[in-house]
Amino acid sequence: VYSPDYNITFMGLEKLHPFDAGKWGKVINFLKEEKLIADDLIVQAREATDEDLLVVHTRRYLNKLKWSFVVATITEIPPVAFLPNFVVQRKVLKPLRTQTGGTIMAGKLAVDRGWAINVGGGFHHCSSDKGGGFCAYADITLAIKFLFERVQGVSRATIIDLDAHQGNGHERDFMDDPRVYIMDAYNRYIYPGDGFAKRAIKRKVELEWGTEDTEYLQKVHTHVEGALNEFKPDVIVYNAGTDILDGDPLGGLAISPQGIVKRDELVFKAARSRRIPILMVTSGGYQKRTARIIADSILNLHSLGLLDRERAFIPVVNSDLNLAHKHLLK
């Protein structure tokens, strides 16, 4: 699931944040170069409307986003505070709303076809009434709530959050919800350090500075298997942040590109072997080589037969899209 509208470009302002604000388009270009996908195999994400966002977000929070200084704080790009809000809406928030719509649509596609990957999304620091850490909309919470409310047979979900940072947004949203099981592996010393949100984590894997492949992959394997044996979900949301990469300016871990590819493989194998639908979102990752690694991981999943073409790569015609859109993004 993707749209060219995912990418944030505005007079170079996006370069003031370490995030590569064009990485999503680069992933798609790499996959096209490798002949894995063509335009007719990409589901075009639609922008989430206010009505969609209000399934989770408070009106008060959405109104706050009409203040440019609030958006500047959330995205960690201070000059945004001085821009007229209509510009901020169009150049910063619309791409994030489109990625959010993509996550919601990918949730439905995952349940229908066994798996789906939103090339964007994974805004795991945003909760119903608070954004932060470059996350303005709670797309993971939204995708799960849409599935619970509008798709028959989906009443239990597991979030596997393997971004380098704690996923405090969805944790706050699902704090007392027994239908949602959260596994979170993160660098214990970095942002957000949200002690209250940690109470929602059913399987907490706190990592040390500079954790490397062998220890990391062993922990991921043990805890993903443990999580899925402990709680049988109807869908998995996999937050596949690549900010665990060695040298990432914010993640503080030391995982190799091959380690990231192997991590994604472990998660998909665990899901597919149990026939649990899986939705992957790409989340954080703050280096220029991140896009290539995400593409390589998707190519690896395909080469191992974990992305079965028969069910999943049926070209999505407009009627399918409209169905998904009507069903979720009314």
Catalytic residues: 125
Q: Cα 193 to the chain's mean position, in Å? A: 20
Give residues with Cβ within 8 angstroms of 327, minimum separation 6. Answer: 108, 150, 151
| Degrees, nearest 5: CA angle 68-248-281 | 65
**What phi and psi values does residue 273 have, to the nearest 5 degrees?**
-65, -25
Nearest CA to 308 out of 262, 271, 281 is that of 271
- Residue entry with tokens 């894995």: 36
Kind and range of the H or E run holding 207: strand 203-207
Report which residue type is found at 136.
A
The 8-class DSSP code of residue 14 comes to G
| Degrees, nearest 5: CA angle 101-177-185 | 75
